[in-house]
Amino acid sequence: MSQKLNQLKKILGEIADLNHAESVLGWDQQVNLPPKGGEARGQQLATLGRITHEKSTSHEVGILLDELKNEYAGSDSDDAALIRVAARNYDKATRVPAEFVAEQSIVTTAAFETWVQAKGKSDFSIFRPHLEKVVDLVKKYVSFFPPADHPYDVLLDNYEPGMKTAEVQEIFGSLRTKQVELIKQISSAKQVKGDFLHKKYNAKKVWDLSEIIIGRFGYDFSRGRQDKAAHPFETTFSINDVRITNRFEPDNPLATLFSSMHEAGHAMYEQGINPAYERTPLEGGVSSAIHESQSRMWENLVGRSLPFCELFFPEIKKIFPSQMDSVNARSFYKAINKVEPSFIRVNADEATYNLHVMLRLELEIGMLTNKVVIKDLPDIWNAKMRDYLGITPPDDTHGVLQDVHWSSGLFGYFPTYALGNLVSAQLWEKINEDIKDLDAQIRRGKFDSLLGWLHEKIHIHGHKYDPQDLIQKVTGSRIDSAAYIRYLTKKFSDIYGL
């Protein structure tokens, strides 16, 4: 290995260590922080962030990358991929001035705090001036990059490298019509019953069951752990330390099980990355959509499938006999897949979820291109909710103020949630070609062939291939909606007798 590459890897290794240290501090903030510990933690994270940014944008790294890019051009080795990804990261980091990053941090900190208040009072007008500032900064961010086909491309690329806005719009276009149509059919069919899901459940028993399930899926507890936090999330400190968090909501007690499966899906991806990529830019999942394809697959295509219910329902019924009185595997299956247009994205079922995402994408593009005036946002939001889901939010808390993303300057992220759903179905079709008896295996509690397939085809590669190239390589086509539509139609035709 060349001396320059060695030197580059040494610096990138330090940057990776710093990023992981920040992740540890962030995890601890969500999981363990004493009530008054927040201010100091903010300062510690700011200092680590500044040092990481300095190292990531150093002149030395720039020179090494310039020289190595030429040396490794045209190669498809791991080292060439590493240099390509490192160069892309470096280009992005150096385009954005440090003062901008500092300003953005101040603006979004205030915007986040105001959003919390505004959401509490259900009053968008409190949040509006802050959102206007955030959007101005988002536009300014885009201006640091060369003109793209669409200004939104610059934002999208941060979460889904190489993906274009036009392509997402095309995919979503056909998907929307078909999902809206499906929801209409479902709403005029006989509704399924799920009251027993909202009875009183013992929190510890649900929590323990969630760990039993994901342990059987293949989440490796010797390289991770599940802790309580306000929101479920997955975080990675190394392939040998991939943690998830979860919560128990008395109103929706079994949601804990599906959150565990979801986060374990993310975590098994991270636990499966090639160990040779540790402490390099090739570590970690390659994009938000591919990541979400893994979490949604374990949560929905496995966890909300009939074979899984046939396997696990007897166990669930043993733990919760009174709650499950006169419920069987099939009625449990129907209940956990109940479709119902609702206001809150994170609680949406599989048939309606993507529509929530499309709405947000349209608004983000509108704000970025000045076609949506921010003061009109609540009205536009509500009109689109009527269009897509046939319901009108009663207030801003259940409408435009529900998500944290915009207050944090997170623009460009939402579409990846829906793209992840699409990818999960594309992979699922391919998996079922390769593993003919997958349903039977799930019914027997055998998940190792499935996890092995994902490991070999997706996980191990880390960041080596760009997401579209990876999906093309594995499924033979780029990201598209056909498989997901087939999946939804089949599943809900069965459940609702369409």
In the three-class reduction of DSSP (H, G, I as helix; E, B as strand; rest coil), residue 439 is classed as helix
Of the candidate residues 2, 6, 37, 383, the single one contacting its own copies (CB under 8 A): 37
18 is an interface residue for its own copies by CB under 8 A: yes
Question: For residues 159, 25, 118 and 388, what is the CA-based torsion angle, rounded to 10 degrees?
Answer: 30
202 is an interface residue for its own copies by CB under 8 A: no
CA 367-99-150 angle, 5° bins: 30
Nearest CB to its own copies, comparing residues 39 and 251: 39
34 is an interface residue for its own copies by CB under 8 A: yes
Q: Cβ 90 to its own copies, closest distance in Å?
A: 19
116 is an interface residue for its own copies by CB under 8 A: no
10 Å CB burial of residue 160 (0-12, 13-18, 19+) is buried
Q: Produce one character per residue of 361-390: b if its CB has 16 or more CB atoms within 10 Å, e if not.
A: bbbbbbbbeeebebeebbebbbebbeebbe
5 is an interface residue for its own copies by CB under 8 A: no
Of the candidate residues 2, 6, 47, 143, the single one contacting its own copies (CB under 8 A): 47
Please choose, from the candidates 457, 410, 409, 412, the residue with its C-alpha nearest in 3D space to the C-alpha of residue 433: 457
CA 292 → CA 18, 19, 258, 286, distances in Å? 25, 21, 14, 11
Q: Cβ 278 to its own copies, closest distance in Å?
A: 7
- Residue 456 neighbours by CB distance under 10 Å: 12
Stretch that binds its own copies, among 13-21, 146-154, 288-296, 445-453 (CB under 8 A): 13-21
80 is an interface residue for its own copies by CB under 8 A: no
Of the candidate residues 4, 5, 7, 14, the single one contacting its own copies (CB under 8 A): 14
CA 309 → CA 127, 226, 261, 279, 331, distances in Å? 43, 23, 14, 39, 9
44 is an interface residue for its own copies by CB under 8 A: yes
CA 16-102-52 angle, 5° bins: 15
33 is an interface residue for its own copies by CB under 8 A: yes
204 is an interface residue for its own copies by CB under 8 A: no
Nearest CB to its own copies, comparing residues 144 and 221: 221
Q: Please provide the size of the chain in residues.
A: 498
Please choose, from the candidates 368, 383, 477, the residue with its C-alpha nearest in 3D space to the C-alpha of residue 422: 477
430 is an interface residue for its own copies by CB under 8 A: no
Nearest CB to its own copies, comparing residues 17 and 340: 17
Q: Cβ 210 to its own copies, closest distance in Å?
A: 17
Contact 336, 492 (CB under 8 A): no
Nearest CB to its own copies, comparing residues 20 and 262: 20
DSSP code per residue over 28-75:
HHHHT--TT-HHHHHHHHHHHHHHHHHHHT-HHHHHHHHHHHHHHTT-
109 is an interface residue for its own copies by CB under 8 A: no
Nearest CB to its own copies, comparing residues 12 and 357: 12
Nearest CB to its own copies, comparing residues 37 and 314: 37
48 is an interface residue for its own copies by CB under 8 A: yes
Instruction: Looking at residues 207 to 266 of the shown chain, list those that interact with its own copies (rule: CB under 8 A).
Output: 221-225, 227, 237-238, 240-241, 243
CA distance 49 to 18: 8
Q: Cβ 233 to its own copies, closest distance in Å?
A: 16
Nearest CB to its own copies, comparing residues 28 and 71: 28
Q: Cβ 242 to its own copies, closest distance in Å?
A: 8
Binding footprint of its own copies, residue count (CB under 8 A) = 38
Nearest CB to its own copies, comparing residues 121 and 223: 223
Q: Cβ 69 to its own copies, closest distance in Å?
A: 25
CA distance 386 to 341: 10
Instruction: Looking at residues 277 to 336 of the shown chain, list those that interact with its own copies (rule: CB under 8 A).
Output: 278-279
Of the candidate residues 4, 17, 80, 330, the single one contacting its own copies (CB under 8 A): 17
- Residue 399 neighbours by CB distance under 10 Å: 21
Q: Cβ 14 to its own copies, closest distance in Å?
A: 5
- Which residues are identified as catalytic? 263
- Summary count for the chain: helices (H), strands (E): 20, 3
CA distance 132 to 457: 43
Q: Which residues pair with 236 in a beta bridge?
A: 242
Of the candidate residues 5, 24, 180, 192, the single one contacting its own copies (CB under 8 A): 24
CA distance 2 to 341: 58
Nearest CB to its own copies, comparing residues 86 and 186: 86
Stretch that binds its own copies, among 12-20, 120-128, 391-399, 455-463 (CB under 8 A): 12-20
Residues in touch with its own copies (CB under 8 A): 13-14, 17-18, 20-21, 24-25, 28, 32-37, 39-41, 43-44, 46-48, 50-51, 221-225, 227, 237-238, 240-241, 243, 278-279
